[in-house]
Structure 1
Amino acid sequence: MDLKGKSILVTGAGMGIGALICKELAKAGADQIIGIDVLKESMRETENSTKALGCKFIGLACDLSREDHIESLIKQIKAEKLTFQVLVNNAGIAPSGPFSEQDFSVWKKAVQINVLGVIKLTHASLPILTSHPISHIVNLASIAGKFGSEGTVVYSATKHAIVGFSNALRMEYYEKNLGVSWICPSMVKTRMIDGVKPSLFTPVIEPILVAKAVKKAIEKNKAEVMVPGYVRLSIVILPTLFPRLFMWLAVKTKASRGWLLANKGLEKNIPV
């Protein structure tokens, strides 16, 4: 897909990776970005920087953990005669810590936003996307969607769900000019990993690398994209070929103790 002149909906557009995705797609020639976040005012900086690149920006508030909010969002988009050829499901949360010690409401919220929100918004957006000759969906997954680890029990479950959802959806729409990509980054240098010590298996990367991967996935209709690419060896190939060895290494090197000890809860801007 050539991004020039396209309209793109990006969730979690207020900061971090989402804001950078908006800018990167604007640089690639997108005509309009529809930014979605819990609070509309959180997208002001994204709006200003995107407009400075010659791209229109429309910010809309939506709590992606609420099915009725997503339905209202799509109704508003249709009522305002907006459209989009690309959907980027970027929004997500990453609570962590001992599974049994965190209040279940925190785990439930992660599932609502990371899984149900993505599936509901995608389902509601399909009539808009398929009304165009060519369209694309990008889902932000994680290397946690390829291999579960201590401290990220529910987060890993949500990202495994996104990988499976994306893979199956790509197959279902393979011959219908709707591309589906899923991005699996390592630990990204954003507020999401504050207080989390990285490990041998999870290098810390700059968020711009994820934004560039999203752009390339759309342009080249790529399926699964690992960021950086070389982590496929340690996260996918090694565990598949030598599962017992990988488990032993992960435990002995305390590969994911950082998430366990950080014991992160819900962010302040996430409604309970």
Structure 2
Amino acid sequence: MEIKGKTALVTGAGMGIGALTCVELAKAGVHIIGVDVLKETMSDVQKQVESFGVKFYGYSCDLSREENIETFTKQIQYEGRSFQILINNAGIAPSGPFISQNFSVWKKAISINIEGVAKLTHSCLPHLSSQPEAHIVNLASIAGKFGSEGTVIYSATKHAVVGFSQALRMELYETKIGVSWICPSMAKTRMIDGVKPSAFTPVIEPIDVAKAILKAIRKNKGEVMVPASLRFSIVILPALFPRFALWLAVKTKASKGWLTANKGLEKNIPV
């Protein structure tokens, strides 16, 4: 896809990977429809995006609530906002021992990370199907390829994103809509605050994820690992030697940081 002049709808656009993705898209001449829980969190992103001579339209939407998504999609349709790229970036990562959190915390992760992605995609597909060409990008994680301690529900949600994306790409294979899913390691954003990394899960720069998203859209790539070298340790090794991979992950404390960080819901996430 030639992305210059296109418009992208980006969720979780207020900060982190979402904000950087908006800026990278703007540099490439892409207009932005930004979505976040609070519209005001996107004010800085809007200024950066518009400095590249493209347009930014900001909307607030709680993606954990189906009725909010329906209201939002009806609103942009009413306002005539056309777009060719959908980037499902918004997500939350509570962590800790599975039994330690009130289940409402885990349920919130499921509602945003899985239901929000599926519902928004479902609502946007009729519009994307009407475009000459379109692309959908879903932010998964290495946790979507290999479950680990401290991330039981987060891993479950990201496995769901991977499966959803793979099946959707197959279903849309003979159409003009491409589907990509991005599986990054721990990106240096506030999401990993208080989480101690390990050699098994290297910390990467969020700009690397943003650039991988743009490349996936341009080249219609399916699954993208960031960094690419993770494919051996996260995909190939567990497939060939599942018992050894599990032993290695436990012994190297690959995700112990998530277990001990015991993260709850972020302050800007309504219960």
- Cα deviation for residue 260 of structure 1 reads 0.2
Are residue 246 (structure 1) and residue 245 (structure 2) matched? yes
- Cα deviation for residue 252 of structure 1 reads 1.2
- CA distances 1:136-156 after superposition (whole Å, capped 9, x unpaired): 000000000000000000000
- Cα deviation for residue 101 of structure 1 reads 1.0
- Cα deviation for residue 255 of structure 1 reads 1.3
Map of 1:62 onto structure 2: 61
User: Separation in 1 of the partners of 2:124 and 2:11?
Assistant: 13
TM-score, normalised by the number of residues in structure 1: 0.99
- CA distances 1:36-58 after superposition (whole Å, capped 9, x unpaired): 00000000000000000111000
Map of 2:95 onto structure 1: 96
Map of 2:29 onto structure 1: 29
User: Separation in 1 of the partners of 2:111 and 2:256?
Assistant: 25
- CA distances 1:143-187 after superposition (whole Å, capped 9, x unpaired): 000000000000000000000000000000001110000000000
- Cα deviation for residue 27 of structure 1 reads 0.9
- Cα deviation for residue 72 of structure 1 reads 0.3
Q: Where do 4+ consecutive residues of structure 1 move more than 2 Å?
A: none
Are residue 218 (structure 1) and residue 217 (structure 2) matched? yes
Contact 2:185/2:226, CA 8 A, preserved across alignment: yes
- CA distances 1:202-259 after superposition (whole Å, capped 9, x unpaired): 1000000000000000000000000000000110011111111111111111111100
Which amino acid is the alignment partner of residue 21 of structure 1? Answer: T
Residues 149-160 of structure 1 mapped to structure 2, 5 A cutoff: 149-160=148-159
User: Separation in 2 of the partners of 1:54 and 1:234?
Assistant: 42
Contact 2:188/2:206, CA 8 A, preserved across alignment: yes
Map of 1:6 onto structure 2: 6
Residues 163-242 of structure 1 mapped to structure 2, 5 A cutoff: 163-242=162-241
- Cα deviation for residue 3 of structure 1 reads 0.6
Residues 16-165 of structure 1 mapped to structure 2, 5 A cutoff: 16-30=16-30, 32-165=31-164
Q: Secondary structure at the match of 1:246?
A: helix
User: Separation in 1 of the partners of 2:159 and 2:187?
Assistant: 18
User: Separation in 2 of the partners of 1:208 and 1:253?
Assistant: 27
Q: Secondary structure at the match of 2:91?
A: coil
User: Separation in 2 of the partners of 1:105 and 1:69?
Assistant: 19
Q: Secondary structure at the match of 1:47?
A: helix
Q: Give the share of equivalent positions with the same residue, in percent.
A: 72
Structure 2 unaligned spans of 5+: none
**Number of matched residues?**
271
Contact 2:200/2:252, CA 8 A, preserved across alignment: no
User: Separation in 2 of the partners of 1:252 and 1:111?
Assistant: 29
- Cα deviation for residue 85 of structure 1 reads 0.3
- Cα deviation for residue 133 of structure 1 reads 1.1
User: Separation in 2 of the partners of 1:123 and 1:59?
Assistant: 21
User: Separation in 2 of the partners of 1:46 and 1:155?
Assistant: 27
User: Separation in 2 of the partners of 1:231 and 1:198?
Assistant: 15
TM-score, normalised by the number of residues in structure 2: 0.99
Which amino acid is the alignment partner of residue 198 of structure 2? Answer: S
Which amino acid is the alignment partner of residue 174 of structure 2? Answer: E
User: Separation in 1 of the partners of 2:20 and 2:54?
Assistant: 14
Which amino acid is the alignment partner of residue 17 of structure 2? Answer: I
User: Separation in 1 of the partners of 2:243 and 2:114?
Assistant: 29
